[in-house]
Amino acid sequence: MQTYHPLYVQFFQHYHQGEYWEAHEVLEELWQQDRSNDFYHGLIQIAAIMHQLNRGKVQGARKLSKSAIGYLSPYQPECEGVSVKGILQWLEMCLQKLPEKVILLDLSELQKLGIPICQLPEIK
């Protein structure tokens, strides 16, 4: 069984509790130790996208989705217990459903777009 860094594990714990900002912050702490790790950078952006979506920030979520694709693509199909391929499919779906040239949407309008939570595994 693979052993993961405690901050990596904490990222998933926060994420699955819907604490996207906290997830972002804890993994950023680990990423700061190795800024060349684009996999961690991409996961940080997934948490940031979820945070943006919960606040109706369409433009921010679109921008982060595009950069996350760039960070995560080299790590597919899987990395450190995470289906990168699945995340990339989710990101493409976000870009298809989130309207261009829209900065903010009311949360009820955003929910009508049918964007699910990005599925990440339970890492312990």
Per-residue pLDDT of the chain (124 residues; tens, 9 = 90+): 689 999 999 999 999 999 999 999 999 999 999 999 999 999 999 999 999 999 999 999 999 999 999 999 999 999 999 999 999 999 999 999 999 999 999 999 999 999 999 999 999 8
Number of neighbouring beta carbons within 10 Å of residue 68:
25
- The CA dihedral of 78, 74, 114, 111, to the nearest 10 degrees, is 110
3 state SS of 37? coil
Locate the DSSP E strands across 40-90.
Answer: 78-79, 82-83
CATH assignment, 6-112 = 1.10.3450.10
Which pLDDT belongs to residue 2?
A: 81
- Cα 10 to Cα 6: distance, rounded to the nearest angstrom: 6
Q: What share of the chain is helix, strand, coil (3-state, %, to 5)?
A: 65, 5, 30
Backbone angles phi, psi at 16, to 5 degrees: -70, -15
How far CA 5 is from CA of 29, 44, 62, 75, 89, in Å, comes to 12, 15, 30, 18, 26
Which pLDDT belongs to residue 50?
A: 98
Name every residue whose Cβ is closer than 8 Å to that of residue 94 and which is 6 or more positions away in sequence.
Answer: 49, 61, 62, 65, 115
The predicted model scores a pTM of 0.96
